[in-house]
């Protein structure tokens, strides 16, 4: 199939019987005013010829590509998907396109996508590194590409983080207030992200209550529903299983709840479960999930605001870490521990 030749701005001008400059004013909405009659003639010529602006040429002339890269660990994770949607929604209103890259939690892909986005000459990058953030940031910094890092607190870097220490504390305090004492933790393998502080908050609250954290009640899980399921099965197989569990996120919590049900037990009558993130499905589970909520949509929007400011100011803004708050959302998956017969 022969590729159709792109219509030029000169051809539009000839069809509308105006100058090429006038066509440019109409396409770019300025810088000079155009009468309604002339604008209508140009727009009619554009429609008849099927003209569209050459974005590559425009970007070269402006030294901007109007594109922002987004690097996230998993495309299917509901939290990352919500961040991506919020960021894209904000940036699209400003005329920017988001290039989405999923690393599947592979630090090597962090670095590779950073190099690819640099080669694409994106105006900025928002990223959630899966590991070794300094190495992932290096190719972007070498090219002086503005970058915002989420879920981290890195020196000399624009970051947006979550108060994960408080989140871990809130979840554990809630279960203690219900009377639980054997409280398990399903955690993710520690990484450079601040989410490891959720486990630190769990430990702090137990120690403050005079309860030494039992190493047998702390299980590391792989990402995904299966990770939560297998970890909960391991906990239920203990001679003295927990009456409650704090999970690293809602996805692991859902897997844990399924394992509890498959074992013939009931949530929360036999085992209480607390998630983290307050994903869209959390309120619709059976029972609805008690979870720690952070403003996911705000994280995406704030990232969009900061990256656009950096692009416009060419990175001159002083670096800082924006810390987003968390809150406990109590639903039906938590209750007092079962009474001993």
Per DSSP, the residues of 151-203 read S---TTSEEEEE-HHHHHHHHHHHHHHTT--SEEEEEEPP-SSGGGHHHHHHH
Q: Hey, what domains does the chain have and what are their CATH numbers? A: 9-53 (1.10.260.40), 62-162+296-326 (3.40.50.2300), 164-294 (3.40.50.2300)
First to last CA, the chain: 78
The Cα–Cα gap between 235 and 137 comes to 38
Query: pTM of the full predicted structure?
Result: 0.77
Contact 333, 265 (CB under 8 A): no
Q: What is the pLDDT of residues 277-292, one digit of tens each?
A: 998 889 999 999 999 9
What pLDDT was estimated at residue 165? 95
Q: What is the pLDDT of residues 69-90, one digit of tens each?
A: 999 988 888 889 999 999 999 9
Give the mean pLDDT of 103-109.
88
What pLDDT was estimated at residue 341? 45
Residue 247 predicted with pLDDT over 50: yes
Q: What is the pLDDT of residues 211-237, one digit of tens each?
A: 988 899 999 988 789 999 999 999 999
Average pLDDT, the chain: 88
What pLDDT was estimated at residue 264? 95
What pLDDT was estimated at residue 315? 55
């Amino acid at each position: 199939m022969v590729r159709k030749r792109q219509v030029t701005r000169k051809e539009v001008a000839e069809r509308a019987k105006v100058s090429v400059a006038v066509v440019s004013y109409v396409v770019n909405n300025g810088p000079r005013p155009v009468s309604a009659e002339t604008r209508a003639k140009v727009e009619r010529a554009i429609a008849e010829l099927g003209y569209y602006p050459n974005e590559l040429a425009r970007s070269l002339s402006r030294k901007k590509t109007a594109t922002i890269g987004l690097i996230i660990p998993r495309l299917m994770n509901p939290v990352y998907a919500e961040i991506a949607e919020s960021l894209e929604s904000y940036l699209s209103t400003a005329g920017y396109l988001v290039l989405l890259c999923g690393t599947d939690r592979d630090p090597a892909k962090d670095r590779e996508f950073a190099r690819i986005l640099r080669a694409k000459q994106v105006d900025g990058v928002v990223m959630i590194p899966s590991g070794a953030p300094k190495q992932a940031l290096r190719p972007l910094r070498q090219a002086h590409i503005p970058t915002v890092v989420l879920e981290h607190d890195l020196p000399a870097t624009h970051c947006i983080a979550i108060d994960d220490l408080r989140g871990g504390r809130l979840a554990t305090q809630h279960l203690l207030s219900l009377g639980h004492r054997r409280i398990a933790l399903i955690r993710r393998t520690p990484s450079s992200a601040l989410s490891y502080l959720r486990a630190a908050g769990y430990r702090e609250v137990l120690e403050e209550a005079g309860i030494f954290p039992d190493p047998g009640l702390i299980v590391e899980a792989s990402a995904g529903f299966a990770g939560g399921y297998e970890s909960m099965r391991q906990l239920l197989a203990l001679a003295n299983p927990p009456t409650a569990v704090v999970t690293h996120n809602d996805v692991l919590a859902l897997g844990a709840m399924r394992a509890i049900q498959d074992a013939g037990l009931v949530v929360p009558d036999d085992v209480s479960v607390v998630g983290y993130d307050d994903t869209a499905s959390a309120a619709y589970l059976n029972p609805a999930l008690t979870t720690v909520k952070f403003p996911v949509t705000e994280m995406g929007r704030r990232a969009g605001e900061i990256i656009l400011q950096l692009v416009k100011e060419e990175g001159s803004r002083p670096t800082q870490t924006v810390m987003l708050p968390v809150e406990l959302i109590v639903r039906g998956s938590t209750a007092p521990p079962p009474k001993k017969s």
